[in-house]
Amino acid sequence: MAIFLSGEIKEMVSKPKLDDLTPRQIVAELDKYVIGQDSAKRAVAVALRNRIRRQKLSPEIARDVLPKNILMIGSTGVGKTEIARRLARLANSPFIKIEASKFTEVGYVGRDVESMIRELTEVAVDMTKQAAFEDVKLSAEENVEEKILDILLPTSNSYYSQSFDNKNDLIEDKQPNKTREKLREQLRNGDLNDRLIEVETQDRSNAMIDFVGGQGMEEMGVNLRDMFGNLFPAKTVRRKIKISEAKHFLLRDELENLVDMEQITRSAIDKTQSSGIIFLDEIDKIAGRESGSGNPDVSREGVQRDLLPIIEGTNVNTRYGMVNTEHILFIAAGAFHVSKPSDLIPELQGRFPIRVELESLRFEDFKRILVQPKNSLIKQYQALLKTENIILEFTDNAITALAEMAVKINQTTEDIGARRLHTLLEKLLEEISFLGEELEEKNQIIDESYVLNKLGELSQDQNLRQYIL
């Protein structure tokens, strides 16, 4: 089992990364987006940090330090998925979020659980590749520029330029260097973007097979890409396209040429194995044991049973090679409205030793959720309307009124947590959003009376609010 040293990761990835963050800093990062839910944030922060700690151990002991998987329990709309999403952006680790309810037991039609490891590996390869692309981007761009210039102005041989159908005075210039530099400048300025040139690029039509194979074939338990991925070597095709497009195609080819795919694959597999994170959402949907009455339960339990080895540590065959799942961190989350964690089969319960409960959101939380998070709901609407020069402002009273309504409606109908704010705001700003730039008054101030005016009646009427808010 490979241990990935922090130095190696640095080589591949230059962005600031999670690995440098202490648990306190991770929590602080999450705080920017998710209000409250401290225990859940702390748990994920510790779990992540422990993997960094493990990487500093000697291989002998590191092998035995397995990640402590986390089970997040909390009713709907309180921030479970949000924590995962934010973590994913933070984490420079391969990360996927996947709904447990998507899987079916091996042997049945549907996605088998091993596909999530394949997906995670795919993410890791992509990440590693992008990082490698970043490193060679400048040289690739230079090469592309030279290539296009070569086509526009075939060097040394004036015979070529005769047959070139896009005949122009520049080609017949007596000073090729000067001409080339002039063309280069035009090329950089984008003046030549619309000119047609003939280029040779790699034919990626087998990407189509990738695409088709991705989902559909998975259902048959066959991964077409695994089988045929490398059977079709890239063909080159000639085509006549605009320079602006040619730049794009040629750059992609050039990037692919400059990176070492084998090294990328190796490093991606290491990365998957040692720092991969899988967020298993909606795990409560597969809870439930064999009740004897119906098939669904049997298959749910089957999925749970299929999950066991993957969480415990097994080898999964991917098209990049074998991936060991032993050190992949699993964070499961579920509302557990109907079922309880104890409805999971005991073996699975045991594999999620850290339990955190997310609290229901209260009045104060709603107020903060509306304004505090980076890109909070209100900031989103403000930004959207700003594109049409509408300045949207909310008074404190308006925020308070909205939060009060959210609490009240959550109490009296269904508690959908912070999602209630989405429905409320959408309704509140319906008219402003519709009119947009047609509005005479560019400064729109939303105060308490505006809120009551737009939503007051709805929130009073039991029937209306059940459907609309």
**Chain residues that interact with Mg ion, rule: CB under 5 A:** 80-81
Q: Which is nearer to Mg ion, 81 or 376 (CB)?
A: 81
Residues 413-452 that bind ligand ATP (CB under 6 A): 417-419
* Tokens, residue 414: 């269904």
| 370 scored as a contact of ligand ATP (CB under 6 A) | no
Residue 370: name its binding partner from ligand ATP, Mg ion, none (Cβ under 5 to 8 Å by kind). none
Residue 94: name its binding partner from Mg ion, ligand ATP, none (Cβ under 5 to 8 Å by kind). none
Q: Which is nearer to ligand ATP, 364 or 431 (CB)?
A: 364
Residues 318-347 that bind ligand ATP (CB under 6 A): 335
Residues 71-130 that bind ligand ATP (CB under 6 A): 74, 76-82
Among 12, 30, 35, 183, binds ligand ATP (CB under 6 A): 35
Among 369, 385, 429, 455, binds ligand ATP (CB under 6 A): 369
Among 37, 274, 304, 339, binds ligand ATP (CB under 6 A): 37
Give the list of residues 6+ apart from residue 209 with CB closer than 8 angstroms, or none. Answer: 224, 225, 228, 232
Q: In angstroms, what is the minimal distance from the CB of 233 to ligand ATP?
A: 43
By CB atoms closer than 10 A (0-12, 13-18, 19+), residue 258 is middle
| 253 scored as a contact of ligand ATP (CB under 6 A) | no
| 34 scored as a contact of ligand ATP (CB under 6 A) | yes
Q: Which is nearer to ligand ATP, 35 or 310 (CB)?
A: 35
Q: Which is nearer to ligand ATP, 94 or 334 (CB)?
A: 334
Q: In angstroms, what is the minimal distance from the CB of 26 to Mg ion?
A: 20
* Tokens, residue 458: 């709805």
Q: In angstroms, what is the minimal distance from the CB of 84 to ligand ATP?
A: 8
Q: In angstroms, what is the minimal distance from the CB of 385 to ligand ATP?
A: 19
> How many whole angstroms separate alpha carbon 273 and alpha carbon 329?
9
Beta bridge partners of 202: 236
Q: In angstroms, what is the minimal distance from the CB of 422 to Mg ion?
A: 14
Among 373, 398, 402, 446, binds ligand ATP (CB under 6 A): 373
Q: Which is nearer to Mg ion, 147 or 285 (CB)?
A: 285
Q: In angstroms, what is the minimal distance from the CB of 100 to Mg ion?
A: 11
CA-angle at 269, arms to 263 and 53, nearest 5°: 110
Residue reference for tokens 């396209």: 241
| 30 scored as a contact of ligand ATP (CB under 6 A) | no
Using the contact rule CB under 6 A, the part of the chain among 31-39, 203-211, 216-224, 271-279 near ligand ATP is: 31-39
| 405 scored as a contact of ligand ATP (CB under 6 A) | no
Residue 213: name its binding partner from ligand ATP, Mg ion, none (Cβ under 5 to 8 Å by kind). none
> How many whole angstroms separate alpha carbon 336 and alpha carbon 355?
13
Q: Which is nearer to ligand ATP, 378 or 385 (CB)?
A: 378
| 29 scored as a contact of ligand ATP (CB under 6 A) | no
Total residues in contact with ligand ATP, by rule CB under 6 A: 18
By CB atoms closer than 10 A (0-12, 13-18, 19+), residue 240 is exposed
Q: Which is nearer to Mg ion, 50 or 81 (CB)?
A: 81
> How many whole angstroms separate alpha carbon 366 and alpha carbon 417?
9
| 276 scored as a contact of ligand ATP (CB under 6 A) | no
Task: Please give the torsion angle defined by the CA atoms of residues 401, 402, 407 and 412, in that order, rounded to the nearest 10 degrees.
Answer: 90
Q: Which is nearer to ligand ATP, 51 or 285 (CB)?
A: 285
| 148 scored as a contact of ligand ATP (CB under 6 A) | no
Assess contact for 246 and 148: CB atoms under 8 A. yes
Residue 67: name its binding partner from Mg ion, ligand ATP, none (Cβ under 5 to 8 Å by kind). none
Q: Measured at CB, which residue is nearest to Mg ion? A: 81
Binding site for ligand ATP (CB under 6 A): 34-37, 74, 76-82, 335, 369, 373, 417-419
